[in-house]
């Protein structure tokens, strides 16, 4: 598959930077979207390229996902050379950036479970600092009703609400993938960053792209990213291209 010419040029420039940071979302970016979240795995080509990039000199790789950190570690299969950040940028390998309100989280989770009850295909996914309501496998009517009811719960609770593809997530701490990317940018004194993402939460990272950084949106929809590809397969191809150029 052929990558867009403007993206190839941007990746070539990033590959030549002295200190490179490569960051990516997981679901819908490295892994195709699946009906069962537990079935998500990175495409082999993408995983192999990421690991190889992480082993290059003056180069760091980080996955920034909405998944809980331990789940991301299991599903991604990444070695320790690839840094992981879970919970939409709030959960680092050293712990959470902020204190979690466990009581509020439990209350929201109970209410979402009530909303999901009796609506086939509506599921609740608890996480350490948030809880998500998924409607990907529900009927249109049940999905819309569940999302509307869940949003009312979230707004009343004061939780941070994030809308994704067939999902609403309610965080009891502030989450920002862009800040997570910048943490690693500062830590490694990166001279350029490349970020791949497909969902609304990734826009916070695209907003932080500056200078020779490369933000790549996966799939359709409005975006702040300067570049776009169609699918996770394209992301795998882009990572392989970046690896080849960085090695050179």
Residue 25 annotated to the active site: yes
Assigned token pair, 235: 């992301």
If one counts every other C-beta atom within 10 angstroms of the C-beta of residue 148, the result is 11
Give SS3 for 85. strand
Q: Which residues, other chains included, contact 63 with Cβ-Cβ below 8 Å and sequence gap of 6+?
A: 23, 24, 25, 26, 30, 72, 76, 78, 82, 83, 84, 85
Q: Which of 25, 202, 213, 234 is catalytic?
A: 25
154, 169 Cβ separation under 8 angstroms: no
User: Which of 24, 25, 15, 26 has its CA nearest to residue 57?
Assistant: 15
Report how far apart, in Å, the C-alpha atoms of 170 and of each of 38, 142, 177, 216 are.
20, 19, 15, 26
Provide the angle, in degrees to the nearest 10, between the axes of the packed helices 232-247 and 5-15: 40
Assigned token pair, 80: 């320790």
Residues annotated as catalytic (active site), given as ranges: 25
């Amino acid at each position: 598959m052929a990558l867009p010419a403007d993206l190839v040029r941007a990746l070539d420039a990033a590959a030549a930077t002295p200190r490179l940071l490569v960051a990516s979302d997981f679901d819908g970016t490295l892994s195709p979207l699946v009906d069962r979240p537990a079935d998500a795995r990175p495409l082999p080509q993408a995983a192999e390229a990421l690991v190889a990039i992480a082993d290059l000199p003056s180069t760091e790789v980080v996955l920034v996902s909405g998944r809980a950190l331990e789940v991301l570690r299991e599903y991604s299969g990444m070695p320790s050379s690839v840094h992981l950040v879970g919970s939409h940028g709030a959960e680092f390998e050293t712990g959470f950036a902020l204190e979690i309100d466990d009581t509020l989280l439990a209350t929201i989770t109970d209410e979402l479970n009530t909303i999901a009850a009796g609506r086939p295909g509506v599921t609740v996914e608890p996480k350490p600092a948030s809880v998500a309501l998924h409607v990907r496998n529900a009927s249109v009517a049940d999905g819309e009703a569940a999302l509307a009811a869940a949003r009312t719960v979230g707004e009343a609770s004061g939780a941070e609400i994030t809308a994704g593809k067939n999902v609403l997530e309610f965080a009891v701490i502030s989450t920002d993938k862009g800040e997570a990317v910048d943490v690693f940018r500062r830590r490694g004194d990166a001279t350029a960053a490349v970020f791949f993402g497909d969902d609304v939460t990734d826009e916070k990272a695209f907003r932080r792209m500056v200078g020779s950084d490369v933000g790549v949106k996966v799939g359709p929809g409005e975006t702040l990213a300067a570049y776009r590809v169609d699918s996770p397969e394209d992301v795998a191809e882009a990572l392989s291209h970046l690896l080849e150029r960085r090695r050179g």
